Amino acid sequence: MSDTLSPIDTAKFVAAKRAVEFVEDGMKLGLGTGSTAFWMVRLLGEMVRNDGLKIVGVPTSTRTAELARQEGIKVISLDEAKWLDLTIDGADEFDAELNLIKGGGGALLQEKIVATASDQMIVISDVSKQVDTLGAFPLPVEVIPFGWQTTKALIEETLVSMDVLGQRTTLRMNGATPYVTDEGNHIIDLHVQRIGNARQLALILNQIPGVVENGLFIDICDVVVIGHGDGRVETHDINSGETTEGLVHFAENENIFSDMGD
Ligand SMILES: O=C[C@H](O)[C@H](O)[C@H](O)COP(=O)(O)O
């Protein structure tokens, strides 16, 4: 459908384009992180500059804060906002109940705080992230650097005690050094293959000393907008049970594609 974007980027773009239709004047928005959320922030920037949309945004990472400012979106802190109308963010996996794995880009902690402090969370995703059971994507767990090897061992013991299929854990690296999150923490990725009881695992992981937060988002997401490479979008609302389908039209020469940077 698009000569400018690959099918995967088209899918991400159309999901974002449909999701920003939920945004209304005066809203306080949570701004997600990642390659799908990138389009959402770009589109909101256009709406602010061209249509006079009045919003304030609470970013979920330093990357998103920088992009939002570049786009002319007024950025405030969560403490200034206190509560948000809507958060739009990507995900690494989502299931039929709209439970999620997030944190592939390392931003899960701020993302979970921001999404939880929102009346509504919309996930934007390409169709490849839809799964029957969460867990094929390695589950990120944010840990404090102090004693991280002990925390990692405790996480592995927990996986064994819960009989989780696949108990390998790896410290996320950034080249030769451990990856460091915006909060100065590390991330341990859990290669569990399949998470039978995501609700229970999310609770138990957070009880391990040294664990700050895990990437399982349970009962937080309200709506998922799924984009396809041919421009189709599906929207599922978990609260109303409503599902809609449509086609998002966009012009190849939209300004938004002219300075994509990367
Ligand atoms: O930490 C990163 C976030 O949870 C992202 O929303 C998630 O990894 C999906 O990112 P992307 O849209 O780039 O696939």
Residues in a beta bridge with 121: 87
User: For the complex shown, is ipTM > 0.90?
Assistant: yes
**Which among 104, 99, 172 is positioned nearest to 132, based on CA atoms?**
99
Residue 111 CB contacts under 8 Å (≥ 6 apart), including other chains: 32, 33, 60, 61, 89, 102, 103
Place of tokens 């000569």: 3
Whether residue 247 sits in one domain with residue 120: yes
Distance 217 CA to ligand 1 centre (A): 13
Whether residue 233 sits in one domain with residue 120: yes
Per-residue pLDDT at 261 exceeds 70 = no
Residue 76 CB contacts under 8 Å (≥ 6 apart), including other chains: 28, 56, 57, 58
Kindly state whether residue 186 falls inside one of the protein's structural domains.
yes
Kindly state whether residue 262 falls inside one of the protein's structural domains.
no
Whether residue 18 sits in one domain with residue 93: yes
157: annotated active-site residue:
no
Could you tell me the pTM of the whole model? Answer: 0.96
Whether residue 205 sits in one domain with residue 224: no
How many Å apart are CA 171 and CA 178, to the nearest integer?
7
Residue 196's CATH number:
3.30.70.260
Q: Residues 233, 227: contact at Cβ < 8 Å? A: yes
Place of tokens 């090897």: 149
Whether residue 156 sits in one domain with residue 238: no
Whether residue 148 sits in one domain with residue 250: no
Whether residue 95 sits in one domain with residue 144: no
Distance 123 CA to ligand 1 centre (A): 10
* Tally of domains within the chain: 2
Range with the lowest mean pLDDT among 139-143, 177-181, 184-188, 257-261? Answer: 257-261
Whether residue 98 sits in one domain with residue 153: no
How many Å apart are CA 252 and CA 5, to the nearest integer?
9
Considering the candidates 71, 93, 111, 142, report the single residue annotated as catalytic.
Answer: 111
Mean pLDDT, range 33-59, rounded to an integer: 98
Kindly state whether residue 166 falls inside one of the protein's structural domains.
yes
Task: Enumerate helices (H) and strands (E) in the chain, giving the number of each.
Answer: 7, 17
* Residue span of the structural domain in which 60 resides: 7-127+219-257
- What does the block give as tokens for 209? 């000393």
Q: Which residues are annotated as a binding site for substrate?
A: 33-36, 89-92, 102-105, 129
Whether residue 91 sits in one domain with residue 153: no
Q: Which atom of ligand 1 is nearest to the CA of 125?
A: 12
Whether residue 47 sits in one domain with residue 113: yes
How many Å apart are CA 167 and CA 180, to the nearest integer?
23
Whether residue 106 sits in one domain with residue 205: no
Residue 49's CATH number:
3.40.50.1360
How many Å apart are CA 27 and CA 48, to the nearest integer?
12
